[in-house]
Amino acid sequence: MDTRTLQDLGFPTILAELKTLSLAEEGRQTLASLEFITDWTLLSQRQEIVEDLLDLESYGVQKPISFPSLKATLNDLHIPGKNLDGEQLFTLASYLEAGRIFTEYCRSPRKLPTEADRETPATPAMALFQPFNPALQQLYDHITFALESPGQVKSSHPSIAKLSREVERRRLERQLFSTDFLKTQVASEHVQPAFRDGRVVLPIRTDQRAKLEGVIHSSSATGVTIYMEPYRLVELNNQVIMAQQQIQIEIARILADLSQEARLQLEAIEDLQQQVGFADSMYARSRYVAKHACVRPLASNDGSLLLKQGRHPLLGKKAVPITIELDATIKAVVISGPNAGGKTVTIKTIGLFALLHQFLYFVPGAEGTQMPLFQDVYTDVGDEQSIEESLSTFSAHMRNIGRILRSCNQHSLIILDELGSGTDPVEGSALARAILEYCVERAALTLITSHHGVLKQFAYAHEHLLNASMEFNAETHEPTFKVISGLPGDSHALETAKRMDLPQSVLQAATTYIGAEMVEISTIIAALEEKRREVQEREQQLEERMRKLQEQIRKIDLRQLKLAQDEQLVRKQQLGDLSKFISDKRSELENLIAELREGEISRAKTRKSKAFIASLEKKQKESEQKIEALEEEVGEEATTTDFAVGMDVLAGPHRREGRIVRQEKEHKWVVAIGPMKFTLHERELKPIPSRLQKERKKVLISYESRTVAPQPVIDVRGMTLEQSLEVVSEQIEGALVHSIGSFSIIHGLGDGILSRGIHDYLEKVPQVNNYYFARPEDGGYGKTYVEF
């Protein structure tokens, strides 16, 4: 990638943070090589590895640890015959241990404990390491068996322990001789041996010197005492020193053996280093992805780009999420809008996302983000003014842009900030358009920020170019930093100057100097922006309505399920009660008939018969009341229709067509059926199905009109407002009679009296569906289109 591009887009800061997340010096070196992927297959493989490393966090495997630097150790191993010191060997052991843990981490099985008996398939992260070399494991075991931190040979080592015992034996023998000598020869029990240059010496009074033989080392300050090493003590001291030297010789031998073993495994160590370098670079990426909540972009083979809620990672919490969509046909985007509105941040974010996609393999955006691949990314952002090279701001920009134009190809992304600025506006805009045309022909995608109207118009007219603007809040007069696709932006220079507290006289003069044409363009842009906001609000309302409808459907489904269950329970209960009632009444009826057949009919038998009939009637009435209550409950539960005044409904038990006149009480409506009006409950009403509405016969009315056929264009210039409104009224009547869908009114600019009056009149005509000013090339504010 281009070096200036990396600097302009802040990539070194990203790289520095990535390096802090790595574990080894080899990983940092791999990251510093700046490998940007330009092949979809390789990119997909790298993305799967990063995702696999992210998944490993949930498997409870021992996490990798940091690696010490092996640079000095390996340099010495490459020198034949040179032995490593203990610290170097212990550092090597620490590196091997970290390598083993990292290998086991990446190659750990992806299965739950309950699946222990199932074979684990290979995963992407397993390819980062070969199984840990047994020879390196053996080297690690040998080093850690002999050495302890920070590289000292262990005193418990068998050969060292044996020699240490010999040293202690010689020291004890020396100590016994010294104590006995002082007691017998010097006749003093209070005098203690002393040390001179690592050798034990005995303090002797000067007057005893003549009767003792030995080597004199020194005397006291007063000269009363001398320090002597008797000849037997000389031999004992030598034996102690020789025993200690044997320990040092053994330590040197142990270090030499370990160094030789390490030298034999030098190729395996360097192979492990290579594996660690690549694996660590991938592990650092996975940690960055987790830290910044990055997502894996969808592949865009056709060159389309969809950035969803993209957050610039260097802005932190200040980052305003950016969303922009570019289909495969778009070759360039011209971004305009207010100063300090976020234009430069937007193009920098897109450029940085292109770099992150091909280096980090993930981007800090939302799911659904789609990114293409670029072979190169070129930028011209910022001020490159140079006093030493006698370059002005404009000259520096042109030199850099010239280099970009000579280097770009069909797979390049070009980012140019404030193209054509810093020189004469006319010449700058012409040059900017020529540069843009060149980039459209030779680059994959070009992103430009500019205030030049020429570029906005060129982008509007070109099918492969897109205008985009930064949203500006007309109420607060401040930018919102949101991207609006399809609309050019106004610079809002006067609003910005007003917020900077410029004198009012200066602002008024600037407004006068702008001219009517620029005011008109700004007004058009403002009107388009207002329309866009209205459409956006409408979309939000529709989405909210859709959400409510879906919630209503869900509730209806739940109610229907509950009603079906309740109905089944009621039926089972009623059938059980009814069966028992019929069984009891059958027995009672048989007994009653038998009694009536026997003898004469008495008053008691008559009362019993009437009581039997009354019990049947009571049961019937109770059943009817239950059915009524159930119907009422079902009606209340099933009522989900939103009735309104003016709605056509099917009313009553005979389902006669009627129209709702007004709401009477809760759940009750007054319905007009022909000339009659009835008050009915909601459960007695049903909306007319769309199928029946289509089948209803249309009423055809024939009539004659003397209205003159309307003209497609009427001109009311020179008329008073009353005269013009009369002409417009006749034109509307004629258009309606003759089924004309639209016409236009030429009223001119003037003082705006005609245009305002006609618009106020059109606002009150219910048959007028829409009215609007013509486009600038068709009359602008001097002409109005009317649609029915």
pLDDT number for residue 417:
86
CA pair distance 409, 372, nearest whole angstrom? 15
Give the lowest-confidence range in 253-257, 269-273, 584-588.
584-588
Residue matched to tokens 């009114």: 745
Residue 600, domain member (yes or no)? yes
Claim to verify: residue 735 and residue 774 sit in the same structural domain: yes
Say yes or no to pLDDT of 655 above 80: no
**pLDDT band per the 50, 70, 90 thresholds, residue 390:** very low
Provide CB contacts within 8 A for 599, sequence distance 6+. none
CATH assignment at residue 173? 1.10.1420.10
Write down the pLDDT at residue 637.
Answer: 47
Q: Is residue 678 part of a domain?
A: yes
Q: State yes or no: pLDDT of 498 exceeds 50.
A: yes
Residues 489 and 368 in one domain: yes
Banded pLDDT at 300 (limits 50, 70, 90):
confident
Query: Quick check: 189 pLDDT over 50?
Result: yes
Reported as a single tens digit per residue, the pLDDT across 420-432 is 777 767 777 888 8
Contacts of 785 (CB under 8 A, 6+ apart): 742, 743, 744, 771, 772, 773, 774
pLDDT given for residue 421 in this prediction: 75
Tell me the percentage of the chain whose pLDDT exceeds 90. Answer: 26
Residue 493 is predicted with a pLDDT of 57
How high is the pLDDT of residue 700? 41
The pLDDT value recorded for residue 506 is 67
Q: Is residue 622 part of a domain?
A: yes
With beta carbons less than 8 A apart as the criterion, state whether 352 and 312 touch: yes
**pLDDT recorded at residue 697:** 45
Nearest-angstrom CA–CA distance, 503 and 606: 112
- Percentage of the chain lying above the pLDDT 70 cut: 76
Q: For the chain, what is the domain count?
A: 6
| Cβ–Cβ under 8 Å, residues 703 and 735 | no
Q: What is the pLDDT of residue 578?
A: 61
pTM for this structure? Answer: 0.61
Across 314-323, 451-460, 523-532, which has the greatest mean pLDDT?
Answer: 314-323
What's the rounded mean pLDDT across residues 690-697?
A: 53
Residue 114 shares a structural domain with residue 15:
yes
Q: What is the pLDDT of residue 490?
A: 52
Query: Do 632 and 671 share a domain, yes or no?
Result: no
Pick from 34, 29, 31: nearest CA to 5: 34
Q: Which of 600, 617, 637 is the last residue of a domain?
A: 637
**Same domain, yes or no: 470 and 557:** no
CATH code for the domain of 39: 1.10.1420
pLDDT at 271 exceeding the cut of 60: yes
Q: Which domain CATH number covers 763?
A: 3.30.1370.110
Instruction: Report the pLDDT value the prediction gives residue 287, as an integer from 0 to 100.
Output: 92
257 falls within a domain: no
426, 509: one domain: yes
> Could you tell me which residues are beta bridge partners of residue 181?
none
Determine the structural domain holding residue 504 and report its residue range.
298-514
Q: Are residues 463 and 337 in the same domain?
A: yes
Confidence of residue 638 (pLDDT cuts 50, 70, 90): very low
Same domain for 362 and 274?
no
Whether the Cβ atoms of residue 470 and residue 343 lie closer than 8 Å to each other: yes
Contacts for 173-178 with beta carbons within 8 Å, 24 or more apart?
Answer: 173/236, 173/239, 174/200, 174/233, 174/236, 174/237, 174/239, 174/240, 175/200, 177/232, 177/233, 177/236, 178/202, 178/233
Q: What are the tokens at 452?
A: 């030049």
Q: Which residue has the higher pLDDT, 778 or 190?
A: 778
pLDDT of residue 699: 41
Confidence label for 698 from pLDDT (cuts 50, 70 and 90): very low
Mean pLDDT of 195-204: 86
Residues 510 and 544 in one domain: no
Do residue 181 and residue 318 come from a single domain? no
Over residues 584-605, the pLDDT tens digits come to: 666 677 676 666 666 666 667 6
Does the pLDDT value for residue 242 go beyond 90?
Answer: yes
Q: Is 520 within the bounds of a domain?
A: no
pLDDT of residue 703: 42
What letter would DSSP give residue 298?
E
- 104 domain-assigned: yes
**Which residue blocks in 516-602 are alpha helix, DSSP H?**
516-597
Specify whether the CB–CB gap between 734 and 707 falls below 8 A: yes
In this prediction, residue 42 has a pLDDT band, given cuts at 50, 70 and 90, of: very high
The mean pLDDT of 354-376, rounded to a whole number, is: 92
Structure confidence by residue, pLDDT tens digits, 68-80? 999 999 999 999 8
* pLDDT attached to residue 693: 58
Instruction: Answer whether residue 151 is part of any domain.
Output: no
Domain end (from 629, 662, 695): 695
Indicate the angle between helix axes 86-106 and 231-264, nearest 10 degrees. 30
What is the residue-averaged pLDDT of the chain? 80
**Could you tell me if 687 and 722 lie in one domain?**
no
Q: Could you tell me if residue 463 is inside a domain?
A: yes
Predicted local distance difference test score (pLDDT) of residue 553: 82
- pLDDT band at 388; cut points 50, 70, 90: very low
CATH number assigned to the domain comprising residue 319: 3.40.50.300
Q: Taking a C-beta distance cutoff of 8 angstroms, is the pair 640, 561 a contact?
A: no
- Residue 258 clears pLDDT 90, i.e. is over it: yes
Q: Do 355 and 494 fall into the same domain?
A: yes
Pairwise pLDDT comparison (30 vs 523), residue with the higher score:
30
Of 614, 637, 660, the domain-final residue:
637
